[in-house]
Structure 1
């Protein structure tokens, strides 16, 4: 059975710019039809007035457009109406500082569907989710099902190290942490990269408990 993923705008943009959408989905035996993205992704990541504002280059924009055409769009009203998200859970999440509406929707859908993994680049929202009593039950429901950018790229490094390192280092402006881990002036070796990710992931785990996904050994 294929895994289902829900990806936030930040993670989606980074994967599109690096050209690693297919590689990320392959980690979970997944296709774009098993992926849910925020309905806002098209408008926020590919603004009509300047579609390259965030994507920076035509290749990334075209790649992202193609992916959005085949993935599932998550709209708050429709998701609640269709029973994908509990409206009370969504409202509770929306009331927590540092959890924006998009992340609140992803968390609400994930809390209501145990087969979905949440992929996010928003560490502030993860820390907020694990530090407010009002959402403690929601955090518990998401235990082990949140894939942070660091967890995702640590898995990608295991999957195709040379390719992932090449793509990340070719676009150092996309993510500062990833740029540092894979090597700034010269490529870092595999062990250094894995140690770098372990350090970042352990720090995030210390702030989010059991929330983060633990890849199969």
Structure 2
């Protein structure tokens, strides 16, 4: 059985807007049919009264809808109920992140992609869920970690995608260049700075290798 990727709504939305969903999945050694999204993701990211509220443009919405058609859905039945209860009781870990962490903790051949840094800090600073953070060591992919891998294989393309959607992620916008494209070395340094800071509060949680 191949590797499974569990991805949160924040990362899904940003990667769809950048047009980098397929590349992100591939660079982590996976295919879209082995990606799991929250069962509520479609409804959260496509509000009935304003379909483009989060996607902003039809092109991004179409990418995301296409991705949903090939991915798998996670619901509360997918997780260990005890782990899920422990996680949902921790401040700054919302229901969606709790479900991803709970499923990821018991699936050793999975990676969790998340854009929610507050949840990662909460996961690593509460003794009540230390079991979960220990089980996830080395298997959590923040957006900066993901882009640190993307730039090594397709720097120019990744930079163009990020700079074309400056409102999608302010940190990435700054790293890749606001008024002018940043150099590869500058981007590497910028990503490393964010990653190292996150490592100081999450220990060995973050993914480190291909």
TM over 0.5: yes
- Aligned 1:103-182 pairs, distance under 5 A: 103-182=97-176
Q: Secondary structure at the match of 2:100?
A: helix
Q: CA deviation at 1:215?
A: 1.9
Task: Give the structure 2 partner of residue 41 of structure 1.
Answer: 41
Task: State the alpha-carbon separation in 2 of the partners of residues 11 and 38 from structure 1.
Answer: 12
Shift of 1:29: 2.5
| Offset of residue 3 of structure 1 | 2.2
Measure the CA separation in 2 of the matches of 1:93 and 1:154: 28
Could you say which residue in structure 1 is the equivalent of 2:68?
68
Residue matched to 2:31: 31
So what's the TM-score if we normalise by structure 2? 0.98
CA distance in 2, matches of 1:62, 1:197: 29
Query: Pick from 174, 177, 188: which aligns with 1:183?
Result: 177
- For 1:116 and 1:46, locate their aligned partners in 2 and report how far apart those are by CA, in whole Å: 26
Q: Which residue does the alignment assign to 1:93?
A: 87
Q: Helix, strand or coil for the counterpart of 1:147? A: strand
Query: 2:176 and 2:162 mapped to 1: Cα distance?
Result: 7
Contact 1:2/1:28, CA 8 A, preserved across alignment: no
Q: Do structure 1's residue 7 and structure 2's residue 1 form an aligned pair?
A: no
Instruction: Give the root-mean-square deviation of aligned CA atoms.
Output: 0.9
Deviation, 1:50, is 1.1
Give secondary structure in 2 for the equivalent of 1:173. Answer: coil
> 2:21, 2:126 → 1: CA distance?
33
Deviating above 4 A after TM superposition, structure 1's stretches of 4 or more consecutive aligned residues are: none
Q: Distance in 2 between matches of 1:137 and 1:143?
A: 10
TM-score calculated relative to the size of structure 1: 0.95
Contact 1:172 1:179 in 2 (8 A): yes
* Other-structure match for 1:82: none
Which residue of structure 1 lines up, in the alignment, with residue 187 of structure 2? 193
- Name stretches of at least 5 consecutive residues in structure 2 with no aligned partner: none
Instruction: Find the residue that maps to 2:11 and give its secondary structure.
Output: helix
Tell me the alpha carbon deviations over residues 46-87 of structure 1, each in whole angstroms, 9 at most, x when there is no partner.
Answer: 1121110000000100110010011001111x31xxxxx210
**8 Å CA contact 1:89, 1:108 repeated in 2:** yes
